Structure 1
Amino acid sequence: MDVIKRSTLSQRVQQVKPSGIRKFFDIINTMPNVISLGVGEPDFVTPEHIRQAGIASIQAGRTQYTSNYGTLALREEIARMLQRRTGLTYDPARQLLVTVGVSEGVDLVMRTLIDPGDEVISSDPGYVAYEADIIFSGGVAVPVTTYAEYNFAVRAADIEAAITPRTKLILLGTPNNPTGAVIPREELEGIARIAIKYDLIVAVDEVYSRLVYDIEHFSIASFPGMQERTILLDGFSKAYAMTGWRVGYVAAPSYLLEAMCKIHQYTIMCAGTAAQEAALEALRHGEDDVLHMQADYARRGKMLVAGLNRIGLPTCKPHGAFYAFPYVSGVGGMSDEEFAERLLVEEEVAVVPGSSFGDAGKGYVRVAYCTAYEKLEEALVRIDRFVKKYS
């Protein structure tokens, strides 16, 4: 029997709503025949050579703590990769921090920079953890609505309109979860000008940056004057199918990284040693694996989006990640939550209500296509049957 009253919980914790994704994930676990298009986790197994690198680390007895910043070998390899991909030079010793996934990186950004009442601008819909981390730090989330007519990419003009004297940080996710939107170069250039004009820091989550389709990914850190005011967050979970290994990294100016490491060292100490060695192997020899998975996701996404539009659920083409974001509110007068719940119960297909990702997601659902092609085809059959039933 619970004897601790809810009133004893901190106000910040009480402000944060339970994850809508987690709710559906818990239900899915009780349904053996469900086709899950809800959880954004690759269905690929971590490539064998990467797994073996982690195993070899353990078997060799390399099970001690690493530096708080992560192994120097991994940081040096990350620096080389960033140089190749962005043209930017980062000092492995002072400007790179290995984290327990990108999730820790986002949390570190907020706790390092945000004081109570500071405002953080981010796009709506957006990844569920962003608002929660802002609230946990005492900040105020300022959502900027994105629109289907612009493929859900956040626009620089809308960000500038949301700036107030309390604005401390612009938080971007590109490619975006849940919409699959990639911010075009011209909008990123506009956001960069705004950040410089108002002397703001930009944090950018690029964990899906290797999973882009028919478009080029640009890092805002690579634009003139931006490396010194950008915190770049990335990791290994999505591109290398390493979600359970929990390895990410932060690339930032040294004064910011040193401050972030203060929190990291007292709460986490360091990322797992074996996981870091697996990540090192991924960077050194995993490029073919990334290209293979990226091509497979592109094939799945093309088929799924075409199928959803054919069914009558308007869906923008996602240019990144592995999510489609169909509009469902025209089906039987249902809200997005009702649509997701009934689809799960009646057809055993799991999707996530768009409202879980912000007010601008109302009327949409997130459909993750990081599952087998054949399962996606069957899911479309079931969704089509469901939509016809209520149309």
Structure 2
Amino acid sequence: MGRPPLNRRLAEFGTTIFAEMSALALSTGSINLGQGFPDTDGPEEIREAAVRALREGKGNQYPPGPGIPELRTAVADHQRERYGLSWDPDREVLVTAGATEAIAAALLALLEPGDEVIALEPYYDSYAACIAMAGGTRVPVTLRPDGGAYRLDLDELRAAVTGRTRLLLLNTPHNPTGTVLGREELTAIAELACERDLLVVTDEVYEHLVFDGEHLPLAAFPGMRERTVTIGSAGKTFSFTGWKVGWVTGPPELVTAVRSAKQYLTYVSAGPFQYAVAEALRLPRSYFDGLRDDLRAKRDLLGDGLAKAGFTVYRPAGTYFITTDIRPLGFDDGFAFCRALPERCGVVAIPNAVFYDHREEGAPFVRFAFCKRTEVLAEAAERLGCLREG
């Protein structure tokens, strides 16, 4: 063969670190705090809603391409009641195969080869792959530790915008750092996008997992409704990550563009689960408040255990991930640390360097997921005490 079989745009992407570390957890019998999935299912009534849909023949055949009307209406109602955003369910809401497909479809639809995309570094790994598949050029703006949390340097963001910048790809609450962008930062981002006529794709899948501060959708800021594609998902909010039900909201011209790409990816998916998620979005506020409070307690349980074990802990304002610095333990290579940790302590984590273009920026940082049962987190914290003991 005259050239490698893999498209050169994807040559830098091998097996994901999540697959590697999950396999390591399985082979060593370790507690898996690497991949971000809960170890219990979500509300029983929502699971039963999916069963009921299956039995009643709802969604067992191809659902409508944009998603079932019940779910699109539920998404629009949810956005209006929570944030005061009004979306037309028929023209401004699109159901996708999870947020992952929404990201891919949005970038494939909105980018031309050579367009620059600014993403906050560290970033969820699919961002880089999707930008590459679309032929775009990744331009990272790095969030850096400052005073126990990660911060965005707005001057660095402004300086990253060039005449080739097409799109800002944002994630708030932010995985993996747990940063929740505040009103001042979002106002500045909105002003920059309007001034430079930029599109924005904003990944807000952790919108209900905010422990400190509040979630503010960028689309609600002046001038942003007409230039923002907002991505949401049921997986993180309702603890059914395997259902892969996500959605896009935005103005008709942008949603139509995303749908044009999406229809050639999966066309449709998760038919019966769409009916269940439509019911889930109408759960009372007490459910969402209870989810947040439960995860806040788990954040504090694991965070205290990590601090006791000797890590520097960056306590997240949102998401269900904690970033730690391993240098106080005498290590500076997150890959080597994470690969040795299962044998040493029986716990699996993820090296943050995989989320960086500038690998050296993320080298000493490691991410732990706390979306697990309380007893599992307590056991993990106890096991990590072996690091303190040397």
TM-score w.r.t. structure 2 length?
Answer: 0.95
Is this contact kept in 1: 2:310–2:329, CA < 8 A?
no
Q: How does 1:196-215 map to 2 (within 5 A)?
A: 196-215=194-213
- Structure 1, residues 308-362: CA drift from partner, whole Å, max 9, x if none? 2233311122000111101003433441111111111111100001111113322
Report the Cα distance in structure 1 between the residues aligned to 2:52 and 2:363, rounded to whole angstroms.
47
Q: What SS does structure 1 have at the residue aligned with 2:130?
A: helix
Partner of 1:71: 68
2:384 is matched by which residue type in structure 1? I
- Structure 1, residues 74-115: CA drift from partner, whole Å, max 9, x if none? 111111110111111111110100000000000011101111
Alpha-carbon deviation of 1:48? 1.2
Structure 2 gaps of 5+ residues are none
Is this contact kept in 2: 1:240–1:289, CA < 8 A?
no
Matched, 1:53 2:44: no
Partner of 1:296: 294
Alpha-carbon deviation of 1:136? 1.2
In structure 1, which of residues 174, 177, 182 is the aligned counterpart of residue 180 of structure 2? 182
Partner of 1:375: 376
Matched, 1:147 2:144: yes
Q: How does 1:316-327 map to 2 (within 5 A)?
A: 316-327=314-325
Is this contact kept in 2: 1:21–1:356, CA < 8 A?
no
Report the Cα distance in structure 1 between the residues aligned to 2:332 and 2:374, rounded to whole angstroms.
28
Q: State the Cα RMSD in Å.
A: 1.6
- Structure 1, residues 218-253: CA drift from partner, whole Å, max 9, x if none? 111101111111110001000111101110000011
Alpha-carbon deviation of 1:140? 1.0
Matched, 1:88 2:85: yes
Is this contact kept in 2: 1:156–1:188, CA < 8 A?
no
1:351 is matched by which residue type in structure 2? A
Matched, 1:125 2:122: yes
Partner of 2:261: 263
1:100 is matched by which residue type in structure 2? A
Number of residue pairs the alignment of both structures matches: 385
Report the Cα distance in structure 2 between the residues aligned to 1:71 and 1:379, rounded to whole angstroms.
41
Partner of 1:279: 277
Is this contact kept in 1: 2:71–2:277, CA < 8 A?
yes
Is this contact kept in 2: 1:185–1:218, CA < 8 A?
yes
Q: What SS does structure 2 have at the residue aligned with 1:267?
A: coil
Is this contact kept in 2: 1:316–1:325, CA < 8 A?
yes
Matched, 1:43 2:39: yes
Query: Identity of paired residues, percent?
Result: 35
Q: What SS does structure 1 have at the residue aligned with 2:383?
A: helix
Is this contact kept in 1: 2:309–2:386, CA < 8 A?
no
1:143 is matched by which residue type in structure 2? P
Partner of 1:305: 303
Report the Cα distance in structure 2 between the residues aligned to 1:338 and 1:134, rounded to whole angstroms.
28
Report the Cα distance in structure 2 between the residues aligned to 1:197 and 1:17, rounded to whole angstroms.
38
Partner of 1:253: 251
Structure 1 gaps of 5+ residues are none
Is this contact kept in 2: 1:153–1:184, CA < 8 A?
no
Alpha-carbon deviation of 1:6? 6.9
Q: What SS does structure 2 have at the residue aligned with 1:180?
A: coil
Q: What SS does structure 2 have at the residue aligned with 1:284?
A: coil
- Structure 1, residues 33-90: CA drift from partner, whole Å, max 9, x if none? x111111012231211111111111111221212110011111111111011111111
Alpha-carbon deviation of 1:286? 5.8
1:11 is matched by which residue type in structure 2? R
Q: What SS does structure 1 have at the residue aligned with 2:167?
A: strand
Partner of 1:366: 367
Is this contact kept in 2: 1:326–1:364, CA < 8 A?
yes
Is this contact kept in 2: 1:119–1:142, CA < 8 A?
yes
Report the Cα distance in structure 2 between the residues aligned to 1:199 and 1:37, rounded to whole angstroms.
40
Report the Cα distance in structure 2 between the residues aligned to 1:208 and 1:368, rounded to whole angstroms.
13
Q: What SS does structure 2 have at the residue aligned with 1:238?
A: helix
Report the Cα distance in structure 2 between the residues aligned to 1:90 and 1:315, rounded to whole angstroms.
39
Partner of 1:351: 349
Report the Cα distance in structure 2 between the residues aligned to 1:128 and 1:87, rounded to whole angstroms.
31
2:237 is matched by which residue type in structure 1? A
Is this contact kept in 2: 1:102–1:207, CA < 8 A?
yes
Alpha-carbon deviation of 1:5? 8.3
Alpha-carbon deviation of 1:190? 0.5
Report the Cα distance in structure 2 between the residues aligned to 1:333 and 1:246, rounded to whole angstroms.
37
* Larger deviation, residues 261-270 vs 87-96: 261-270
Is this contact kept in 1: 2:21–2:348, CA < 8 A?
yes
Partner of 2:95: 98
Partner of 2:27: 30
